[in-house]
Amino acid sequence: MKYVPLGSSSLNVSRVCLGSMTWGVQNNQQEANAQIDYALAQNVNFIDTAEMYAVPPSEKTYGKTETIIGNWLAANPDKRKEIILASKIAGPGFSYIREGSQISGKTVIEAIDTSLVRLKTDYIDLYQLHWPNRTSPHFGKHWPNSDGFLAEDSAEETEKMLDILQGLADSVKAGKIRYCGLSDDTPWGINQYLRLSDKYDLPRMVSIQNEFSLLKTQDWPYLIENCYQENIAYLPWSPLATGILTGKYINGARPEGSRWTYMQRNGLFRDTQNTNAAAQAYVDLAKQFDITPAQLALAWCDQVKGVTSTIIGATTLDQLKDNISAFKIELPEPLLSEINNVLKQYPMPF
């Protein structure tokens, strides 16, 4: 397993980050335990979760994934120092999470305290803002003028960011978190936080996790270049595009128990003709080069310059084994060339 610095932090993380959002809906405690045990045995030291999980999000499952991880940590206290544990505060929009309120310095402290209880730990290594106050969640399609990315009052938005940073600073000083990061944000969001950190001597954002895959490459090169030059760790989530890139949903297939059999936002699935055609092309390439479709998609993501650690998820141990094995694969130039041809044919197909 390869390890890399987590941005400007003092932490070194594995190139693979174990995602956990299925734990509590598609996976039970025992299955989650098996995934953590296997990942650690493969020298994965990075685990990502969120207060909002499990997914699909609901009041019933809110906090369930953190509780599952906390149960594992309580049963394996000697392993805590071996793990870089990341969690996230939910942004505005869910009535059952702090009545749908925006993120603030106060809610950051409240969310961290409740996460620490569920996780049964004294500290969180990386604490992230799941999505920014100024927009709805990243998971749907965004068209010009269709969302709130362009804040009407940038000064007011900046004041909110400063308040958040001050709440994070208090949590760092109290030893509750070590570092902070972003999720589902933009270059302006990154840079505004960096400016505020420099100006007021507050904690620096060390990472961002955004959706990135062969089917969603919008962060290249714009946001990824920003991260690379500012020493911000870039952490792709959904590198298999919610499972599309494994090929299991092609031609309308819906395997029992798979993610697409659960109720979720239609915008997250992006089940279009071009998406299916692109997925089929990648499946065919994987077969041609004698690797699995998941290995092709994950190995490609790992080889993108500027990617720090890729967040993977699985509902079965066999899937997890296949996913982790991808990070031992160096895709040959002929395959990379063929992948580029598909990318040109189907740029951002959903």
Catalytic-labelled residue, pool 53, 127, 193, 249: 53
Residues 223 and 186 sit within 8 Å (Cβ to Cβ): yes
Q: Torsion over CA of 312, 316, 318 and 323, rounded to 10 degrees? A: -10
Q: Torsion over CA of 232, 150, 197 and 106, rounded to 10 degrees? A: -110
Closest C-alpha to 118, from 79, 91, 81, 85: 85
Written as six digits, the tokens of 55 are 């997914």
Q: DSSP alpha helices (H): ranges in 128-261?
A: 154-173, 187-200, 222-230
How many helices (DSSP H) and strands (DSSP E) are in the chain?
A: 11, 10
Residues 343 and 217 sit within 8 Å (Cβ to Cβ): yes
- 10: Cβ–Cβ under 8 A, 6 or more apart, which residues? none
Alpha-carbon span 160 to 146, nearest angstrom:
22
Burial class from Cβ neighbours inside 10 Å (0-12, 13-18, 19+) for residue 8 reads middle
Closest C-alpha to 181, from 127, 255, 260, 228: 127
Burial class from Cβ neighbours inside 10 Å (0-12, 13-18, 19+) for residue 175 reads exposed
Of the CA atoms within 13 Å of residue 318, those in its CB half-sphere come to: 1
Written as six digits, the tokens of 304 are 């993108």
The SS3 assignment for 167 reads helix
282 belongs to the catalytic site: no
Residues 279 and 213 sit within 8 Å (Cβ to Cβ): no
- Enumerate the active-site residues: 53
